[in-house]
Structures are given as structure tokens and as C-alpha cells.
Amino acid sequence: MDNNNAACAYDGGDCCECTCEDTPNNKCGRWSGFACIDPEAPCVDDDSFTVDMIDNCDYPGGIGDGWCDEDNNNELCAYDGGDCCECTCEGSEDDDWHCRNFACVDPNAPCVDDDSVTIDMIENCSWSTGIGDGYCSENLNTPECAYDGGDCCSCTCESPYDDDWGCMWFACIDPEAACVDDDDITVDMFENCEYPVDIGNGWCDEANNIEACGYDGGDCCECTCEYESPYDWDDDWDYHCMEFACIDPSAPCVDDDDITVDMVENCGYVSGIGNGWCDRNNNKEECGYDGGDCCSCTCESPYDDDYSCSSEYGSFDCKDPNASCFGEEPTGSDDFSTDDQPMSYEFVPWEETEALPTVDGAVEVGTKTEVGVSSTAHDVRPGMSSGDAGCGEVGGLGCTATNTRDGIFSEIESRWSCATKLVDDEGPCQIEFTFAEPQTIMDIQVAFWKGNERTRTLEVHINGEMTHTHESYADATFNTLGVTATDVSTVMLESVALLSDEWISLIEVLIFVTP
């Protein structure tokens, strides 16, 4: 929008549909929309944009694009060009995910009274377009926000989407809802517990494992944990109700494991004690030497797989003096980094049926400097012998970001996969590559999983600044992003406009730099 003025030739015509020209990596109006105010453009009168809107609306390019932009949902901005009311919204013909979230406050719209969103909600509820979208948003679960339009109670939630992901997690505190007493979540829990929506979801959330939160609704004790899958398919990879940290004094099985209140207060990832994996931070006396996980002779896995407690894949560092195998050398590294702790890898091409692509006069960055890889989230489902779900080794860590740096692109299990539902506050999926030494980038190439079946869009951020937008194209294993830059320390790829049931999956990311 900064270029949409006479001095800048109205952004070279990009802001008017009739003068904008597509590029190989972007389609006119696909993501930025139009805001045509060029008096010389034949279509200047074809939309309702005015110079006043350009000057005074936060996101004028989003007016009338099929998405309800709350900052534009006011009279001055023509109520976002009708995008915020179901009866006035007009989406793109080639996208079925437009016109799906609304916050209708336009007094002239025929359907202004068809939903419960009010001007007060627009002003006082953050992300008001999420009200009534089928997902319980904790920040909207208040009387002022109509208890998220009913999303937080199973009997009042209605998902506008044709998918299996909406209306699945609840924290019902609406006193008018018929099912308000059907779960154990109270107003006090909702106000004082860190993750109230996760109470009673079949996973032991340590922040909720206190009396005030009902000991996570029983999730942290094997005898009280209950989980029923909301999915329609067979959850043969489900790991609910398998890891516990039982300290609820009223639970019959409170004494069945060795977890104590002191451990919960002083040990990291307490529910992982005794889970078959040696957690280095818990491998000490006060944490019960990780429940025996770090000694091959005492480790017992609760999972029905061959991965945990295995001399081939597992990792032992026996420090328990009471274990018969005390003092044995570690059989592998126990540095299992999370998405928040980047792992560094030297790029080593794998033996493939076809060669990895190359760029004339350039080398892959991993051959020059150490590369750290991290992501906001990843699909934690481990690889399965059937190959039906998950990534990597059978029983492993899932579709981690580091899979994009292993040189394997013909093996479908070696990929990074992420969905917005896995990210805090349903934010975008991001994967970041950090260089130990700044580099001059000559090209970036990405292999998209199922690239011939679906289109995915990525924003490319160089050193923290967004420089490119790339829409994936078919008929090529690797997509060329068309990125060149100097003095680069970080490259971050961010998903754009993923639906709640969609995934972004990258098999391999190659970054070519000057030799």
C-alpha cells in the first residue's frame, strides 16, 4: 500500500485488477487483494475503494477480499467491503475457504441480526471473528464475548466448517448452557488454570496438575484418566492416557507409581519419568533417576513398540547406583531437542534414486557452515510400520523440522509436517534455518509433500523480514523460490492461510549459497 500513489505509478498497476499482471510465483490479488484508486485505470470505478480508505484503513487491500478483517470492520472502511457479514461477503471463485468467518455489525446488511456479534464485542473481544467458529478460544470464553458464541460447550457449539476438527474441545462455563454441568471445569478453573481447555483431554498437563485444576481432570493418574477419541477414523497411533504424574490424594492409584509432589515441583517433564525414554534433566536422585529410564536393566516402556528402551534406538546413561548395570556407557545421545531448541545438522546427501538438484556456481549451505533447524510445531505422530501415519523411525519423534535437512526426498516418511491446530493460539506454522556464519544466498529450493495434489503458500523471511511469497506449483519435485540475498543469518518459511484441517509438509529444503 505504501506504493499505491501517483508518485509510485500506483504500484506499477498492481493495485487494480485490470492493470495487474501475474508473475510465475504470484497471482494478482491472490493474497494482497486490490485497492484501485488510479484515475487512469479502466476499472477504477469497478470497486468501492476510495482515497480516504487508503489513507485511513489499516488494511485497505483486504477490503472485499472474502476475509473479515476486524480492523476494517467499521463504517469508514465500508465494513470491510461486506466481508464480515455472511449475506454480503463475496469470496474468490477459485477458493472455497473465503467467506467463512464473520462479525456482522453493518446496520445496512440484511443479516446483521443473524449472529450474536455486537459492536461491543468488536471493540472489546480480541479476534471477534473467532466467536462461533467451532473452536473454544479461551480468551473469548467470557460473558462479554457470549462465551465464544457457544464454542466452549458441547451442546451449543456449531462448526461452520465441513470438517472433523471443529467442536472437539470444551471448557463449558456458560450458565445458560444445558450442558454446563456435564464436565468438571469451573469458572475458577478457567480463570486460574493455565490450560483449562486441556483439563480432562487424556494428556497429563503438568501446569494443570494441581488441586485448583482438579489435578488436570484426572489425566495425570492412570486409574482416573479417561479419553474417547473425537475422530471418526481409527486412532491406531493414539498415545492418550499413557504418561502420568499421579499426585491426586483422592485417586486410588496415587501410590502405584513413584511420582511425588516434590518431583512435580522440582523435576522437568515429570510425566515423562518412567516413559521409556532417558530424559537427561531427570537423570538424578531427586527425580528417581528418571524412573529407571536411563539404565537398560531398569527401563520399562509403557508403549507397544520396539523403539523405547531399545539398545538399538534408545539412549542410556545409567547413574543410579542401585541399578545392576550402574556405570555402563551411554549407547547414544539423549539430547532430544524440542521445537523450541534448534538442532544443528551438517547437510549430508542421502543415497537416492535421483540426484539432489544443484545450482551453478553455488553450494548447499550445509557444506559451508553449521545450520540450526527449528519450528513452531510439528506432527508428533511417530512413524509406523504400516506407513499409514507419522514420520521417521517407527516409534520415533514424528515429522520434525530436522527431516528437511537429511537429504532424503524420495522417502515419504522423511518430512516436516505442521498444522495451525498444533501451534499456540492457532498461529502460523513456521520453520527456521539459522546459520552459524552469515551467507550470500543464490537460491532456495523446497520439495513439497504431495506437491502435485495440493497448493500451499509460504512467506519467505530473510533475517526476520518478509521478502517473498511463494505459491507451490506442481510437476516439479523441487520448487524454486527465487530468493537471493546477502549477509543472511536466518531463513524462515511461514505458512499462509492454512485451514483448520490442512497441513503444510516439506520434504526437503535446500539453500544454495556462494562457495
Does 364 map to a domain? yes
Answer positive or negative: Cα dihedral of 209, 213, 216, 221: positive
* CATH for 462: 2.60.120.260
Distance between CA atoms of residues 249 and 215, nearest Å? 10
Does 220 map to a domain? no
Does 10 map to a domain? no
Contact 186, 194 (CB under 8 A): no
412 vs 228 pLDDT, higher one: 228
Residue with cell 555402563: 328
Res. 1 pLDDT band, cuts 50 70 90: low
**Range(s) of the domain holding residue 420:** 343-513
Exposure string over 137-164, b if 16+ CB within 10 A, otherwise e: bbebbbeebbbbbbbbbbebbebebeee
Res. 336 pLDDT band, cuts 50 70 90: very low
Amino acid of residue 231: Y
Highest mean pLDDT among 328-337, 403-412, 493-502: 493-502
Angle (CA) 99 101 106, round 5°: 85
Measured CA to CA in angstroms, residue 398 lies from 90, 269, 394, 431, 493 at distances of 39, 19, 9, 15, 20
The maximal CA–CA distance of the chain, rounded, in angstroms, is 86
Does 195 map to a domain? no
Does 137 map to a domain? no
Q: Please choose, from the candidates 268, 247, 265, the residue with its C-alpha nearest in 3D space to the C-alpha of residue 256.
A: 247
Distance between CA atoms of residues 257 and 242, nearest Å? 13
* Cell numbers standing for residue 284: 538424578
What are the tens digits of pLDDT across the range 436-470? 889 999 999 999 888 877 888 899 999 988 888 88
Res. 198 pLDDT band, cuts 50 70 90: confident
Does 120 map to a domain? no
Number of domains observed in the structure of the chain: 1
Contact 381, 390 (CB under 8 A): yes
Does 285 map to a domain? no
Does 396 map to a domain? yes
Distance between CA atoms of residues 264 and 278, nearest Å? 17
CB within 8 Å of 417: residues ≥ 6 apart: 378, 379, 391, 398, 399, 449, 503, 504, 505
Exposure string over 171-209, b if 16+ CB within 10 A, otherwise e: bbbbeebeebeebebbeebbeebebbbbbbbbbbbbebb
